[in-house]
């Protein structure tokens, strides 16, 4: 695990913000499934979140368990901390 630096916290904050927007849009789309603008925003934020995680995880380790993040390229990294919810 790399030393935690400013980029770690910056990326993590961006990921959390994007995922917050996704949660809110999910709730909205549950009650407004035909809102094409909301669906477009959801898809844009989904891609943005995916891109941020693709930058974060190789450098700092997995964000999600249960197969949602890779186990690491050459080793299982879940045993290493700190995890995102610990910082």
Q: What is the pLDDT of residues 3-51, one digit of tens each?
A: 678 999 999 999 999 999 999 999 999 888 888 999 999 999 999 999 9
Residue spans of the domains in the chain: they are: 1-63
Of the two residues 60 and 77, the one the predictor is more confident about is 60
Reported as a pLDDT band with limits 50, 70 and 90, residue 65 is low
Report which of 52, 65, 69 is spatially closest to residue 17, judged by C-alpha positions.
Answer: 52
Q: Report, as an integer, the average pLDDT of 57-79.
A: 64
Average pLDDT over residues 40-65: 90
**pLDDT score, position 71:** 43
Dist CA 28 CA 40 (whole Å): 13
> Which run of H or E residues covers position 58?
helix 36-60
Contact partners, residue 81, CB within 8 Å, separation at least 6: 1
């Amino acid at each position: 695990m790399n030393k935690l630096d400013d980029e770690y916290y910056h990326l993590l904050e961006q990921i959390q913000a994007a995922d917050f927007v996704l949660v809110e849009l999910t709730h909205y789309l549950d009650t407004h499934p035909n809102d094409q603008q909301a669906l477009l925003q959801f898809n844009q934020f989904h891609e943005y979140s995916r891109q941020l995680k693709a930058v974060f995880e190789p450098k700092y380790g997995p964000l999600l368990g249960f197969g949602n993040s890779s186990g690491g390229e050459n080793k299982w990294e879940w045993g290493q901390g700190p995890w995102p919810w610990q910082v």
